[in-house]
Amino acid sequence: MSYVDTLRQWDKAVTCADRQEWSEALCIFLSIQEPNSKIYFDIGCLHLLNQDLDDAEKAFDCSIRKDEHLAVAFFQRGMTFYKKKRYEESSADFQRAFKALRGNQLIDYKALGLRYILYACEVLHNLALAEAKLGSWEKAQENLVKALDYKTDAKLSLIDRALQSTLKQKLFKPVEFPLKMLFRPNKHYVAELEKKDYLGKAKVVSSVVPQDEFSGFAPLQPQDMWTSRLHRALQGEPHTVLFEFDPETSDELAVVPGNIVFVLQKGDDNWAYVVFNERRGLVPYNYLERLEISLASNQHKGLARPLSQEPPTRPERKGRSHNYTFVLMLPLICVAQPTDSSYTVKIHFTFNFAVSVPRGSPYVVLIGKVSKKLNLPPTAISLSCDANGKSVIDANTDMKDVWRRASGGHITLWCTTTEPQKEIHFVALHSYKSSNPEDLNFQEGDMIKLLSRVNQDWFEGQSNGNTGIFPAAFVEELPGNKL
């Protein structure tokens, strides 16, 4: 079956589905000889609609084999396994769906012909449910706490209700995909298929390179590829293509792994408008990875600049409230501002830090945030409402009493741990002198103890009895840092 015929049948099948002629739509889909991943996905959804779980599983298997990065297909196969009470396989597929999201909060499939948004927090919600079905309540809670980092305001209540259920070891309902929603071919593309001339007219061109006698049916690529790439880099951010992408509409661009594309614009729907070999089009952004291009290539070593010893841009500090002055005269660092739906919790520890949690959060959410920040298990962390450690906060604490202490969306807590902290030390590669009182001055060769990482460019540390922040590029971590 030709690609044109496939598109015609695909369009005919979804038209039948729009009229709720499910059996007719399924018959048309099954008559397509070489379905793509989206068509197999549609077939699986129709089988689920008919409660044919075995056939649905096979269809989603085929969809994933055609496109192993289609997160929504993993999500749907995970739901199929869940309905078949194969919870371990369901959990594994939800994990694969989350991995295919590549750290994005959501994927909007509208540009691919599916009017559906897959949210990372909903994937983690279903993963938690599968773990709960297996009796792993602690893992279920961990995944729901993780879901809070990916939630949207509209999804907060969903995750919060699930968290409350897991604390009582009660099951909750899964988030299900609307089965009547199908991938559709581009209507304009289908209508224009009859008019398209894929071969086009041959054009004889000559090379612009002097003394090049080539002539043929395509122009030569520029011989100075570095200059060409550098020129294109000025038009967008360079990215490496990780996975092959076959376009299905005239707006999309075909790329294969290893191609270097330049992202001109990234939309909220997870699609990127890129340029590649002087052609422009849409590519899924989660198929790309950011690339840092150095000016120092093998042929252009003379263009390399010496490493600047100028410090990077200082970290922003939003507000200088006296409530956030560090003990021991520690400098201020960037603290997330509270919103109407969150609290900013300042934690007094060996070094001070702040976390943001939704208002009215249970203990498991708070301790999860602190645990992630300190990279320690929750069981090794003790929180209290005072410096003396008398008002201890634990799983039995009524968190309403804790949150009543908040003022203006802020609350201060104290933290201790039962595990020794890993001490990280640096040696100064360059001297650093600053007139800013918050900075830590040191000489080349000085030893510096790390207190916290403000961001990727600035650290906080102690040296020669002084405390302050300093540029990370000026130091090097010592091997053999110990606990």
- The answer to whether the beta carbons of residues 299 and 420 sit under 8 Å apart is no
| H/E element, 458 | strand 458-463
Map residue 229 onto helix, strand or coil.
helix
Q: End-to-end alpha-carbon separation of the chain, Å? A: 65
- Residues 377-389 have a mean pLDDT of 87
Residue 416 has what pLDDT? 87
- 281 — phi, psi (to 5°)? 180, -175
Residues in Cβ contact with 420 at an 8 Å cutoff, skipping those fewer than 6 apart: 483
C-beta atoms surrounding 182 within 10 Å: 24
Percent of the chain at pLDDT > 90 equals 29
Residue 241 has what pLDDT? 85
Q: Inform me whether the pLDDT recorded for 465 exceeds 90.
A: no
C-beta atoms surrounding 89 within 10 Å: 16
| Measured distance CA(99)–CA(94) in Å, rounded | 9
pTM equals 0.48
- DSSP conformation letters of 78-107: HHHHHHTT-HHHHHHHHHHHHHHTTT-SEE
pLDDT tens readout for residues 414-459: 888 876 666 788 999 888 887 777 788 999 889 998 877 777 678 8
Strands (DSSP E) found in 365-409: 381-384, 392-393
Residue type (1 letter), 336? A
- The answer to whether the beta carbons of residues 56 and 48 sit under 8 Å apart is yes
Burial environment of residue 137 by CB neighbours within 10 A (0 to 12, 13 to 18, 19 or more): middle
- The answer to whether the beta carbons of residues 241 and 258 sit under 8 Å apart is yes
pLDDT tens readout for residues 262-316: 888 877 667 888 888 767 888 888 888 887 654 443 443 333 333 445 566 666 5
Q: Report angle CA 368, 136, 122 to the nearest 5 degrees.
A: 65
Winning range, highest mean pLDDT, from 63-72, 236-245, 353-362: 63-72
Please tell me what DSSP assigns to residue 303.
G
Helices assigned H by DSSP within 225-345: 225-233
Residue 452 has what pLDDT? 74
Contacts 24+ apart (CB under 8 A), 92-97: 94/123, 94/124, 94/126, 94/127, 94/130, 95/127, 97/71, 97/72, 97/123
Residue with tokens 């300190």: 374
| Measured distance CA(15)–CA(325) in Å, rounded | 64
- The answer to whether the beta carbons of residues 255 and 241 sit under 8 Å apart is yes
| Measured distance CA(241)–CA(285) in Å, rounded | 9
- DSSP conformation letters of 441-453: PB-TT-EEEEEEE
Query: Which residues are registered as beta bridge partners of 353?
Result: 347
pLDDT tens readout for residues 123-152: 999 999 999 999 999 999 999 999 998 888
Q: Which two tokens stand for residue 426?
A: 């640096």
Residue 269 has what pLDDT? 64
Whole-Å CA distances, 29 to 62, 179, 433: 14, 15, 70
pLDDT tens readout for residues 289-303: 887 654 443 443 333
Which one has a higher pLDDT value, 5 or 84? 84
Domains of the chain: 3-167 (1.25.40.10), 214-290 (2.30.30.40), 341-417 (3.10.20.90)
Residue type (1 letter), 387? A
| H/E element, 206 | strand 205-206
Among residues 358, 361, 322, 320, the alpha carbon closest in space to that of 340 is found at 358
Distance of CA 437 to the CA centre of its chain: 37
Indicate the pLDDT class of residue 333, thresholds 50, 70 and 90.
very low
Residue 314 has what pLDDT? 60
Residues in Cβ contact with 103 at an 8 Å cutoff, skipping those fewer than 6 apart: none
**Which of 76-90, 176-190, 194-208, 353-367 bottoms out in mean pLDDT, i.e. has the lowest?**
194-208
Residue 417 has what pLDDT? 85
Which one has a higher pLDDT value, 174 or 354? 174
Winning range, highest mean pLDDT, from 120-134, 219-233, 325-339, 442-456: 120-134
- The answer to whether the beta carbons of residues 425 and 447 sit under 8 Å apart is yes
| Measured distance CA(49)–CA(228) in Å, rounded | 52
